[in-house]
Structure 1
Amino acid sequence: MIFKFEDKILKFLKENIAVVALFAAIIINFIIRYSLRDFTNSDLSNPLTSWYNELKATGGFAGLGHQLNDCSYNLPYLTLIAFFTYLPVNPADAFKVSSGIFDFIQAFAVAWFVFDITNKNRNKAILSFIIAISSPIVLLNSAGWGQCDSIYTAFAIFALIYLNREKFLVSFILLGISFGFKLQAIFVLPFFVYYYFTKRKFSILYFGIIPIVMEILSLPAVIAGRGFLDVFRIYLSQTDWYPKMSMNYPTFWNLLNNEYTISSADTYVIMKTMAVMTPILIIGCFMFSWIYNNIEINTTNMIYMTFVCVMTCVEFLPGMHERYGYTAEILLIVMMFISWKVIPLVLAQLLILITTYGNFLFDQLVNFTTMAWLNAIVYFATMIYITYEMVIVSEKKGKN
């Protein structure tokens, strides 16, 4: 026989299971993140902590006035690091906590998108939030690695949300912030160009907001002595910062040769132009098919189209790191709530990314040729699925 107070508690938990699960997931997340506080790696110790130490030694914000040693990150993120130097905290903790905060902001953006896609289904939005903060990729990236991929991705997702709501000024400001923190925000830019070309609802001048926002975010460094155009020069130099066809991510180019050759500078010089042009050509073909088939840019198709752009860039561009698939992984979480059929592809992509993370963080031996085959299969399977959903399924719905 159950006591009345037990019955009331269990009834309450059942009636509010989504909210209970949310709070439980948040608590568990804090426990996991705290347990990883002492986990370190080569990126966290050098360059991140070394940049922190260099800025602290040169006066915090004042230190932004000179180029840091071996620094390929842009001025807005370095400004954030300079801010850390004034806090009475361990630099590794500062990196992990700041990225962790944006993990939750990013999860909120995912939940917002899912809320819109599922006709304001609160429970599905909460579940998407839980998945977004609990993904092994998200946890390892911020709590383990101390990286900032959730920062630029969060702003990119919010930019898409406001683009979908036709709040174009806000959308481009958010996209500019995303660009300010990571060049990889450029992976979502092709969709914004496509939206401009097909919808014709805002002027091309809106794209000029992106560099203006980047410059505003860089003002502390400019005031400290950096050049007015340094925020853009850094990204231009980044394109050749890693002169290799592949950087620990099993791209299409790993199918052509072994890891040693594909990682050589000589191969990069020969293949660079082809590797840069290939994703442009593929994305262009997709866009042509969308226009030819009169594909509507609704909320669901916006996610599909953006994913196509991001994943194609990651799969075919040279010099791709394992972390560059981060935004695609977050978009896949949203896609799970469009259709359960995409879940196997989500899990496959997650396992590929986990393996590459393991290679860097835990010295896991990886056969990159095999992984490249698996990644190519997952990529093409996902593209076929998206094309089917956007062209065939939408056409059937239109006839009905």
Structure 2
Amino acid sequence: MLRTKPLAIALMLVCGLAGLALRYLLREYANSDAFQFLIPWYTFARDHGLGALAEPFTNYTPFYSYLLLIAAPFDWLGQPLSLVKTISAIFELGCAIVVAQIVWRTTKLPLRASLAFCAVWLAPTVIFNGAMWGQADSIWTFFTLVSVALFMRDRNGILPFAVAFSVKAQGAFLGPFVLGMILRRRMRFAWLAAVPGVYVVLALPVIVAGRSFVSVLGVYIDQANTFHRLFISAANIWIFAAGMPYAIGVAAGLVLASAGGLALSIFIAQSRRTEPEFILLVASVSLMLMPYLLPKMHERYFYAFELASIGLACINLRYLPFAVIAQVDGVLSYLAFDRGIVMSLLPAALCNTVLVCYLVLDLRHGERVSRFPRLAWLGFIASTAGLFSYLLFAGAGMNVSPAYVLASGLAALMTLRLLKESHRGSAHDPAPSHRA
């Protein structure tokens, strides 16, 4: 271990600097959301100062308004979009540190923890989300990961979960996990009151500044009513049922997600497994299952699962395919919005469906012996490389062709093959080594 510490530190420093350089190069990259929302929000906060708190100048919760006001005094350092992206970058760094700590506390292997930090800091979906788009998903994800980390240490993680929900409604994706942990540990249900309680406490500055209480409480209702489509841009189950009537689809989606979440909570409460890896696994399932089952989701809402799966892979290498596939599917989804390559969503949804099925099956089967299926990895890499090449070559829009069907079918098939092979083991094989 003494030999690996200098290597682990050197690796973190190199990747840390590489991540900073990459974010600097992308600081001026902008999409339509940046011009329509982010830059005007920041400009309003800068020009009005604390007086901005009296106005609903963003469609986010008050927490994000506070961050914009904190960034505004540094306006002389760069362009508005660069400062907005800096907010995201700070929380991305926080996410990388939390995941590295999770891996370190579980394995006590410095190289594994270092790899976890580097993988999160340089993850393609993280770069897309923050460095390119300036989105705020790293903020709620940071508090979500802190909540999971506390539960993994047998501590109460409800307060950071409440903060995550107070930042964005997507923090609720961890809800089935939190409910399961409450049932498992026989905690008082009164702890759930912390969720609305923290939201109100964090909203007090804007209420004191003059913003109406109804306006503050209605943020999530307004967000829910922004789009009236079952399928927006997420690679989830609703890409296959986008033609269903809106009202029926919303009701069915809520019932489906509620049933799935409740089933997961009950499973967590009844399971006898106690190791930290299991806690992270069920948290990952919660973060994947909710955006997969719910309608009206954006491609960015798998962000927390993508980072949690990296920690899971660094703790147990048999989960490496989960983390890699999550990144591939995430990039395919981001390309649909960023480049208009809408046909990338279907193979991403197919692969996410396989991923969800294997996550659920993994909860039932428990620990197995890890293995490295070389041919399955080779097939997965080749098929996904072919899919990306075809999509980028074909360009934006709807480009259905035999080549597309072949590429997307092979990618989904090799995803299934990789997950199947990586989880196949013999009870007579030796236990997997935890040496880095």
- TM bin (shorter chain): 0.7 to 0.9
Quote the offset at 1:367 in angstroms.
4.8
**2:117 aligned residue:** 129
Quote the offset at 1:319 in angstroms.
0.6
Residue 27, structure 1, aligned to residue 17, structure 2: yes
Match of 2:362 among 385, 388, 398: 385
Counterparts of 1:198 and 1:344, CA distance in 2: 29
Counterparts of 1:300 and 1:15, CA distance in 2: 23
Q: Larger deviation: 239-248 or 77-86?
A: 77-86
What residue identity is the alignment partner of 1:364?
A: I
Residue 248, structure 1, aligned to residue 233, structure 2: yes
Are residues 215 and 285 of structure 1, via their aligned partners in 2, closer, same or farther at CA, if it must alter by over 3 Å? closer
Counterparts of 1:309 and 1:231, CA distance in 2: 27
Gaps of 5+ in 1: 1-11
Paired residues of 1:255 and 1:373 also in contact (CA < 8 A): no
Matches within 5 A, 1:240-279: 240-257=225-242, 261=243, 267-279=245-257
Quote the offset at 1:337 in angstroms.
2.1
Counterparts of 2:336 and 2:316, CA distance in 1: 31
Matches within 5 A, 1:1-12: none
Match of 2:169 among 164, 183, 188: 183
Secondary structure at the counterpart of residue 291 of structure 2:
helix
Gaps of 5+ in 2: 370-422, 432-436
Residue 163, structure 1, aligned to residue 151, structure 2: yes
Matches within 5 A, 1:335-346: 335-346=312-323
Quote the offset at 1:229 in angstroms.
5.0
Are residues 229 and 351 of structure 1, via their aligned partners in 2, closer, same or farther at CA, if it must alter by over 3 Å? same
Give the TM-score of the pair, scaled to structure 1.
0.85
Secondary structure at the counterpart of residue 245 of structure 1:
coil
Q: Cα deviations across residues 221-277 of structure 1 (Å, max 9, x unaligned)?
A: 1122112354332113322222211111121121235xxx46xxxx32221100111
Residue 323, structure 1, aligned to residue 313, structure 2: no
Counterparts of 2:198 and 2:267, CA distance in 1: 33
Are residues 214 and 283 of structure 1, via their aligned partners in 2, closer, same or farther at CA, if it must alter by over 3 Å? closer
Quote the offset at 1:352 in angstroms.
1.0
Are residues 172 and 290 of structure 1, via their aligned partners in 2, closer, same or farther at CA, if it must alter by over 3 Å? closer
Matches within 5 A, 1:295-334: 295-334=272-311
Residue 207, structure 1, aligned to residue 196, structure 2: no
Q: Cα deviations across residues 268-299 of structure 1 (Å, max 9, x unaligned)?
A: 2221100111022123333444555x333431
Q: Larger deviation: 175-184 or 311-320?
A: 175-184
Paired residues of 1:250 and 1:368 also in contact (CA < 8 A): yes
Secondary structure at the counterpart of residue 320 of structure 1:
coil
**2:211 aligned residue:** 226
Paired residues of 1:44 and 1:145 also in contact (CA < 8 A): yes
Counterparts of 1:323 and 1:242, CA distance in 2: 16
Paired residues of 1:103 and 1:150 also in contact (CA < 8 A): yes
Q: Larger deviation: 207-216 or 24-33?
A: 207-216
Q: Larger deviation: 367-376 or 238-247?
A: 367-376
- What is the total number of aligned residue pairs between the two structures? 370
Secondary structure at the counterpart of residue 68 of structure 2:
helix
Secondary structure at the counterpart of residue 340 of structure 2:
coil
**1:52 aligned residue:** 42
Identity of aligned residues (%): 22
In angstroms, what is the RMSD of aligned CA positions?
Answer: 2.6
Give the TM-score of the pair, scaled to structure 2.
0.79
Secondary structure at the counterpart of residue 356 of structure 2:
helix
Counterparts of 1:128 and 1:60, CA distance in 2: 38
What residue identity is the alignment partner of 1:30?
A: L
Counterparts of 1:15 and 1:49, CA distance in 2: 42
Counterparts of 1:371 and 1:66, CA distance in 2: 39
Counterparts of 1:291 and 1:29, CA distance in 2: 39
